[in-house]
Amino acid sequence: MFIDEAKIRVKAGDGGNGCMAFRREKFVPRGGPSGGDGGRGGDVYMESTQRHNTLIHFRYNPEHKAQRGEHGMGSNCTGQDGHSITLQVPVGTALYDQETGELVHDFREPDERIVIARGGRGGRGNQHFATPTHQAPREHELGRPGEERVFRLELKLLADVGLVGYPNAGKSTLISRISAARPKIADYPFTTLEPNLGVVTVGEEPEQESFVVADVPGLIEGAHLGHGLGTQFLRHIERTRVLVHLVDVSDASGRPDPVEDFKVINNELDSFSNKAGENLLSEKPMIVVATKIDAVNPDKLKKLTTYAKRRKLEFHAISAVTGQGIDELKWALASRLRPADSEPRAASA
């Protein structure tokens, strides 16, 4: 099950109480106050890892608590500190404060580790309150409470390329053709119910290049208003560097105008904004891809080609069934993702 949102409550350990004790032994003439300090409460850490790729382990276990510090003891013995706990999240997780909505941390790399709740300090025992004029103090401190916070977790997949388009435009078929990903493929809308990732390789060793492609559920008109499935997954392509807009140019789409299809989906991308009110999709580089050219309607293909040329958008026509245009598209994507200072490489035959 793919879970990309979760709300958790964390509680750091409370500090142990300071002890009030007096040492009175036959051969210890200087006994006096001997209450030890309480131990410090454990912290709550959060760490990014590549072992997880979903937040499902938080959906059914939303509360996490670190151990409290032990109380102080007599003979000036300090209580043991509480054990800290570490919560692991997938790389790409954004951590938000539930009350303020503030972004606390964005885990973009593996093994990033931060403290999300600090344990309370242990209280002082009565040994600390002895003075020359107050030699038998009965004062002692209680431990400080540990921090308690509520967070919202959002997972945003890390991918280089994002595939967008209408349902049944051929996104899942394309990612299955260019990578080892095997999403469910069927001839009805919204077959894709969760994002899929695939690793694409081009070229031969030792100059082989690879990049990650994300396929998200299809968009429909009004998606930014909550229609369909797509917008709840659009944040997964916020981190992508290139968008590939797939447009069905066959008669099977049931829509007569491919340019209108392109405009509708582009409008949904322009209307999308994340929780911070930012639109990170509207300015991304885009490649337009006409799909299903094995069953092409020539008029639709010509109209989309002319429109892409007029808009100065890179255009490719492919058939995921026959493989036509697939290699050219892979090399075009690799070229877009290649650093600007690297030398261009010729596509293999």
pLDDT at position 23: 86
> Per-domain residue ranges for the chain?
5-155, 161-337
Q: Which of 112, 114, 95, 113 is nearest to 104 (CA)?
A: 95
CATH topology (fold) of 161-337: Rossmann fold (3.40.50)
pLDDT at position 172: 84
Low-confidence ranges of the chain (pLDDT < 50): 276, 344, 346-349
Q: Where are the alpha helices (DSSP H) in 87-241?
A: 171-178, 231-234
Torsion 304-309-311-317 (CA) sign: positive
pLDDT at position 346: 47
d(CA 79, CA 162): 54
Angle, helices 258-271 vs 298-310, to 10°: value is 50
d(CA 76, CA 127): 7
* CATH architecture, domain 5-155: Distorted Sandwich (2.70)
d(CA 299, CA 344): 34
pLDDT at position 84: 96
| Cis preceding linkage at 206, omega within 30 | yes
pTM: 0.74
CA of 180: how far to CAs of 212, 251, 260, 263, in Å? Answer: 11, 29, 32, 31
